[in-house]
Amino acid sequence: MSTASRRVVITGAGLISPLGNSKQTLRESLRAGRSGVGPIRCLPSTALPFRCAAEAWDFQGKIDDFGDLSAEQKRTIRKGLKVMCREIQMGVASAQLALQDAGLRAGNYDVDRTGAVYGSDYIMTEPQEFTEGVRRCLDDAGHFDFRRWASEGLTQVTPLWLLKYLPNMPASHIAIYNDMRGPNNSITLREASSNLAVAEAFCTIQRGHADIMLAGATGTRLHPMRTVHTALQEQIASGEGEPERLCRPFDRDRQGMVLGEGAATIVMEDWETARARGAEIMGEVVGYGSSASMTRQGVANSRQSLQNVIVQSLSKAGLKPSDVGHIHAHGLATRKDDIEEAAAIVAVFGENGRRVPVTAAKSYFGNLGAAGGMVELVASLLALCDGSLFPIRNYETPDPDCPVAAAQGTDTPAGNCFLNLNVTPHGQASAVLIRAA
């Protein structure tokens, strides 16, 4: 099969987010400037240095959250829920919603040429999985006796507990529930995972190994252990003001990120396959980039890695910086990260870097971990379809150290293509370049 000219298009999207669980609610929230940040419900906030987060408020982990399923799929997924933690449930739900959005149902695609690639964080076990086992191993003084664990403690842990947290399970469940026998892969590179899942799916289709691929990611920063890790290692907005005003990417008065959770999936197809079935095309993937950079002392060099992925994406697409209609920035809203990202943009785009519109959906829902890039990608896809861009929320006072053209108002043109950027605290950056249909 000749693959040199294979074009890869996006034909559907599904999401679970703090701004709702459909493309329409996401679009409406962004256009209305509605925030998904509110007081924490899922964790005991009295023990944390902040009180607000962006939970996927409408996701209950019930079968109805998975959309319009066949009777058989309902039975199978409902049975499988007990071996899925919340992150995996959100990932599978977003994939089912994406398939429905693309008009794909079992029986109307080639199962041997349809697959999935999914990104995630390292998925951490909930402490309560071991609560009863630990309790059984306490001595009279209340101290844990490890010698009793094998015989008395481990027997209280459900035999399938590990399946609930393995990062390859989202892609596995999705393939099983939809009889997808094509390529299947999992990526665990924190915030860089979303764009890298898209890149892997793109390459898989372009080289002729599949005709249809689901690319998705699920993630959270809201977890008893992960939240503590993040609070100890990164800058989090801990202000006591209005929750919706906490996340302020590129603004002079930004104080740090807001933590959140979510998942999103897109359906990617060979253009000929999509055209043959009459699919509605949302956009076309034309470029991607991946780079990791750090100093000899192990300190992340995010500016360099972001600069690298921008250059790679443009090169693969055969486009110039002036061809980019808007940039969806990582926009973490920390002091250091926003400065480095702005510097990378200006380094590649030159003076045009001070003019090309930049948006950041994290201003609406914070850092969703591995899922953030995918929800942000869907947001920019919707902006391409609408023709206009949503503004950065809470951007009020420009920061001289972040000389980017922050989108303000809802009348900023989205352009004909956009660049989606993400980077981890360790300097692993990723990007995808998507052109309008």
pLDDT value for 226: 86
Q: What is the pTM of this model?
A: 0.95
Residue 204 is given by DSSP the state H
How far apart (Å, rounded) are the C-alpha atoms in residues 305 and 292? 5
Tokens of 224: 């008893």
Indicate the CATH number for domain 8-126+161-436.
3.40.47.10
In sequence order, which ranges of 260-360 are alpha helices (DSSP H)?
Answer: 271-276, 302-317, 335-349
For residue 215, give every residue at least 6 positions away whose Cβ sits within 8 Å of its Cβ, in sequence order, or none.
116, 117, 118, 197, 198, 200, 201, 202, 265, 266, 268, 374
* 4 or 221, which is more confident: 221
210: left (phi over 0), alpha (psi -120 to 50) or beta: beta
How far apart (Å, rounded) are the C-alpha atoms in residues 331 and 368? 12
Q: What share of the chain is helix, strand, coil (3-state, %, to 5)?
A: 40, 20, 35
Tokens of 331: 């926009």
pLDDT band at 46 (very low <50, low <70, confident <90, very high): confident
Among 189-193, 227-231, 417-421, name the one with the lowest average pLDDT: 227-231
**What's the whole-number average pLDDT of the chain?**
95
What is the number of other CB atoms lying within 10 angstroms of the CB of residue 318? Answer: 9
Residues paired with residue 436 on neighbouring β-strands, in sequence order:
283
Strands 184-187 and 261-270 come out as: unpaired
Kindly tell me if the per-residue pLDDT of 3 is higher than 70.
no
pLDDT, tens only, 175-195? 999 999 999 999 999 999 999
pLDDT value for 316: 97
pLDDT band at 1 (very low <50, low <70, confident <90, very high): very low
Cα-based distances in Å from 352 to 113, 236, 360, 395, 421: 42, 31, 18, 20, 17
Kindly tell me if the per-residue pLDDT of 365 is higher than 60.
yes
Q: What is the DSSP string of 366-426?
A: -B-GGGHHHHHHHHHHHHHHHTEEPPPTT--SB-TTS--EE--SS-EE--SEEEEEEE-TT
Tokens of 322: 């002036």
Task: Using DSSP, state whether 61 is helix, strand or coil.
Answer: coil
Strands (E), 221-339: 261-270, 283-292, 326-328
Q: Return the residue matching tokens 């914070």.
A: 366
pLDDT, tens only, 421-430? 999 999 999 9
pLDDT value for 107: 83
Asked if 304 and 426 count as a contact pair (C-beta separation under 8 A), the reply is: no
pLDDT value for 44: 86
Asked if 340 and 258 count as a contact pair (C-beta separation under 8 A), the reply is: no
In sequence order, which ranges of 84-168 are alpha helices (DSSP H)?
Answer: 86-102, 131-136
Kindly tell me if the per-residue pLDDT of 50 is higher than 50.
yes
Angle, helix 86-102 to helix 169-177, in steps of 10 degrees: 40
Tokens of 8: 């890869």
Residues paired with residue 38 on neighbouring β-strands, in sequence order:
53
How far apart (Å, rounded) are the C-alpha atoms in residues 314 and 348? 10
Looking at the chain, the whole-number percentage of residues with pLDDT higher than 90 is: 88
The pLDDT of 341-349, averaged and rounded, is: 96
Looking at the chain, the whole-number percentage of residues with pLDDT higher than 70 is: 99
Residues 63, 66, 67, 68, Cα dihedral to 10°: -70
Burial class of residue 176 in the structure, from the number of CB atoms within 10 Å of its CB (0-12 exposed, 13-18 middle, 19+ buried) = middle
For residue 189, give every residue at least 6 positions away whose Cβ sits within 8 Å of its Cβ, in sequence order, or none.
119, 196, 370, 424, 428, 430
Picking from 174, 258, 263, the residue whose alpha carbon sits closest to that of residue 219 is 263
For residue 143, give every residue at least 6 positions away whose Cβ sits within 8 Å of its Cβ, in sequence order, or none.
none
* Domain definitions of the chain by residue range: 8-126+161-436
pLDDT band at 233 (very low <50, low <70, confident <90, very high): confident
How far apart (Å, rounded) are the C-alpha atoms in residues 437 and 434? 9
pLDDT value for 4: 58
pLDDT band at 112 (very low <50, low <70, confident <90, very high): very high
Tokens of 268: 């990617």
Among 17-31, 67-81, 235-249, name the one with the lowest average pLDDT: 235-249
Strands 417-423 and 326-328 come out as: parallel
Tokens of 409: 């108002």
Number of H helices and E strands in the chain, helices first, is: 12, 15
Q: Return the residue matching tokens 């002729």.
A: 208
Cα-based distances in Å from 289 to 109, 312, 415, 431: 29, 5, 21, 5
pLDDT value for 2: 46
The pLDDT of 130-139, averaged and rounded, is: 96
The pLDDT of 59-63, averaged and rounded, is: 97
